[in-house]
Amino acid sequence: MTREQLFEQILNKKSFLCIGLDTDPKKLPQHLLDAEDPVFEFNRQIIEATADLCVAYKPNIAFYEAQGPKGWVSLERTLQVIPQDIFTIADAKRGDIGNTSELYARAFFETLDFDSVTVAPYMGADSVKPFLVQGNKWVVLLALTSNTGSQDFQMLRLGDGKEEYLFEQVLQTSSTWATADQMMYVVGATQAAHVQRVRELVPEHFLLVPGVGAQGGSLADIARLGMNRQCGLLVNSSRGIIYASSGADFAQKAREAALAVQREMEALLEQYL
């Protein structure tokens, strides 16, 4: 998917919502447990109930991997029922030496057909570039994450006269590896104090923003500080939407939760775009 297609979808749906499919088999509604593939059945109903309200789905790969081979089957099936015009993100946080990152790219872009994959930057250029070989596939690189552990290394000050944080250097260096047409950055909603600086460094790039909802970040702050002229934001919500109800009405309640976020986003798009 191109950046223009993504922006067009945002305008059409008046939404920059990404729904995180962190589907835990231990949290499924009781009535789904008899289905042949309960995880897939849960996802299918969530997607059917929310596809007109969001512009991206982000399966959290750990949840599928923890199930062994059958988890990967559930993931394959889930991808098949996501409408073609919706952006898909494999939230996998991969990254390894070149010949190994090539295999991870094969896993998510060929074996599966994701539009993008989240990648960790620690191993540098040759660990990220193998994910950029296909022009219509994206890297979503970790920059400043939403968790408390982001303080440990991402917020270290650099020396050699740089005086900036490590995450700023990650943004600067990695933005030379690919344009805003193939690279996005993870910037946590809990990091609103730094979003202005992120925008100085990468004004055009889309930001994937986790941490609204369960983790406490503010959607309004992120929109005010982070929106650019093509929106430039995909704000993720996982638990707040997919687990809005644990009963037979889970899909309807997920839709209501997504709709509430979409309406807030519609107002923010009118205000800032």
Give catalytic residues, as residue numbers: 93
Q: Which residue has the tokens 């539009």?
A: 115
The interface mask with a copy of itself, positions 213-252, x = CB under 8 A, is ----------------------------------------
For a copy of itself, the binding residues in 103-162 under the rule CB under 8 A are 103-104, 106-107, 110-112, 120-128, 142, 145-154, 156-160, 162
Question: 149 — alpha (psi -120 to 50), left (phi > 0) or beta?
Answer: alpha
For a copy of itself, the binding residues in 40-69 under the rule CB under 8 A are 60, 62-63, 65-69
For the CB of residue 187, give the shortest distance to a copy of itself in the complex, in Å: 13
CB-based contacts of 142, cutoff 8 Å, min separation 6? 93, 118, 119, 120, 121, 170, 185, 186
Residue closer to a copy of itself by CB (options 68, 135) is 68
Q: Which long-range contacts (CB under 8 A, 24 or more apart) does 7-11 make?
A: 7/230, 7/231, 9/55, 9/85, 9/86, 9/87, 10/55, 10/230, 10/231, 10/269
Residue closer to a copy of itself by CB (options 50, 190) is 190
Binding site for a copy of itself (CB under 8 A): 22, 24, 60, 62-63, 65-70, 72-73, 76, 91, 93-98, 100-101, 103-104, 106-107, 110-112, 120-128, 142, 145-154, 156-160, 162-163, 166, 169-170, 173, 210
